[in-house]
Amino acid sequence: MIGIEDVEDAMESVEGVAERTPLRESRTVSEAIGADVYLKYENLQRTGSFKIRGAYNKMSSLSDEEREAGVIAASAGNHAQGVALAARETGVDATIVMPKDAAISKVEATSEYGGDNVEIILEGIDYGEAYEHAREMQEDDDRVFIHPFDDTHVQAGQGTVGLEILDELPEVDTVIVAVGGGGLAAGVATAVKARSPETRVIGVQAEGASSVKQSLERGEIYERDSVSTISDGIATRRIAESTFEVIREKVDDVVVVDDDETANAMLRLLEREKTVVEGAGAVPVAAALERDLDLEGETVVPLLCGGNIDSNVLSQVINRGLINAGRYLKFETVLHDKPGALVDIATLISEHDANIYAIHHHRMAKDVALNASEVEFEVETRSREHSNRLVRALENAGYDIEVLS
């Protein structure tokens, strides 16, 4: 189990490589939960996440012989980029195995960060298969494997985020951190509890990848059969033995949030804080907003651990968040195929202060009469109540409405 001295040594190690990321007050989240909330913007870190801290600390600890042999790692995104940049900074050659379905943007970013020091191999349909392939290669070549979380140097490097928080905000009452494999939570909890024992550390997992609560309840590691979540940065089936021991001893509570709550938090951060975070970076804010964590009146720091999100995924998340907030309504109805029919319903929508995004006609629908047309509307509304009010008004006017989303 790592100690505070390991994190302090890591702080010296990553100095000048990892950025000291901003810690800023969030009025919108503060007002929502009745606390003084400060966001730790680790999504603005080099490579877009905290991973450079642990990767660089690990690689800077290698012996001359290990550096000469090179390293190997497996990752679907953030860890790959952290290892790539650390390889270039230390001059160590690295082979990084990424699954074939890894986002193109993350593969390209890994290549750019690593330059000539990094070889990328696409292998396996998911992270699990990529990991197994990397382990086989590591055994054959006798290179050091840079694990994303089951490594004390990596955990200590991640813990430097906790020291930064305490240096700038020593009066913090609660730190909220995402938990995937547990490396970040273990490192941050070690730093926080050593420097400020009364400060709470709360871990947050995605519902489709939660294993920690079950592990704590059982007193042993619980491994899921599969994972499914938009928070791909913490989509692990289990935590490590090393991180489990730290979490059990030093993390005060672990809660779970679902994908809808995460999407809502991502949208709030995008619109109100003008910052882009990935799912893993948003789960601490989602927990603060959606779970009863007894935060009222406290000074709270949710850690925005990463901002590496594929543009297509971000678009889907924004749409999901708008739907959840009742700000996007998609419905279909049948109109008589005659002049003025579309104008009539559009006028009614306008009179109820809703804005039409798009209209799609389906005249060839088999269940629609020859003199009618099935029409699909995409409408911007202000809230769930506003959306429901519009649907009722349309139905009262004689339209048969089927809400699609």
Q: Is residue 316 part of a domain?
A: no
Residue finishing a domain among 249, 275, 308:
308
Q: In terms of domains, do 173 and 108 share one?
A: no
Q: In terms of domains, do 104 and 250 share one?
A: no
Q: In terms of domains, do 260 and 164 share one?
A: yes
Q: In terms of domains, do 124 and 187 share one?
A: no
Placement of tokens 């509304």 in the chain:
381
Listed in order, strand segments (DSSP E) in 151-208 are: 174-178, 200-206
Compute CA distances 46 → 21, 62, 267, 304, 377, whole Å.
Answer: 9, 22, 23, 14, 42
Q: List, in order, residues 6 or more apart from 72 with CB less than 8 Å away.
A: 94, 95, 96, 97, 134, 137, 138, 141, 143, 144, 145, 146
Q: Which residues of the chain have pLDDT under 70?
A: 363-366, 370
Q: In terms of domains, do 122 and 242 share one?
A: no
Displacement of CA 401 from its chain's centroid (Å): 36
When divided into structural domains, the chain yields a total of 3
Q: Is residue 251 part of a domain?
A: yes
Q: Is the Cβ–Cβ distance between 300 and 36 less than 8 Å?
A: yes
Residue 232 pLDDT: 87
Terminal alpha carbon distance of the chain: 48
Q: What is the largest CA-CA distance in the chain?
A: 81
Q: Is residue 392 part of a domain?
A: yes
Residue finishing a domain among 100, 116, 146:
146
Residue finishing a domain among 79, 112, 146:
146
Q: Is residue 93 part of a domain?
A: yes
Q: Is residue 237 part of a domain?
A: yes
Q: List, in order, residues 6 or more apart from 74 with CB less than 8 Å away.
A: 96, 97, 98, 127, 130, 131, 133, 134, 135, 148
Residue 365 pLDDT: 63
Q: In terms of domains, do 114 and 28 share one?
A: no
Q: In terms of domains, do 229 and 336 share one?
A: no
Residue 369: DSSP 8-state: -
Name beta bridge partners: 306. Answer: 49
Q: In terms of domains, do 46 and 185 share one?
A: yes
- Euclidean distance between CA atoms 19 and 278, whole angstroms: 19
Q: What ranges in 171-277 are assigned the alpha helix state H?
A: 183-195, 212-218, 241-250, 259-272
Q: In terms of domains, do 44 and 69 share one?
A: no
Q: In terms of domains, do 157 and 38 share one?
A: yes
Q: What is the CA radius of gyration of the chain?
A: 24
CATH number at residue 90: 3.40.50.1100
Residue 256 pLDDT: 97
Q: Is residue 317 part of a domain?
A: no
**3-class state of residue 24 by DSSP:** strand
CATH number at residue 394: 3.30.70.260
Residue 313 pLDDT: 85
Residue 405 pLDDT: 83
Q: In terms of domains, do 123 and 64 share one?
A: yes
Q: Which domain holds residue 78?
A: 57-146
Give me the sign of the Cα torsion angle 346, 350, 354, 356.
positive
Q: Is residue 191 part of a domain?
A: yes
Q: In terms of domains, do 142 and 20 share one?
A: no
Placement of tokens 């040594």 in the chain:
9
- Euclidean distance between CA atoms 373 and 332, whole angstroms: 10
**3-class state of residue 40 by DSSP:** strand
Q: Is residue 87 part of a domain?
A: yes
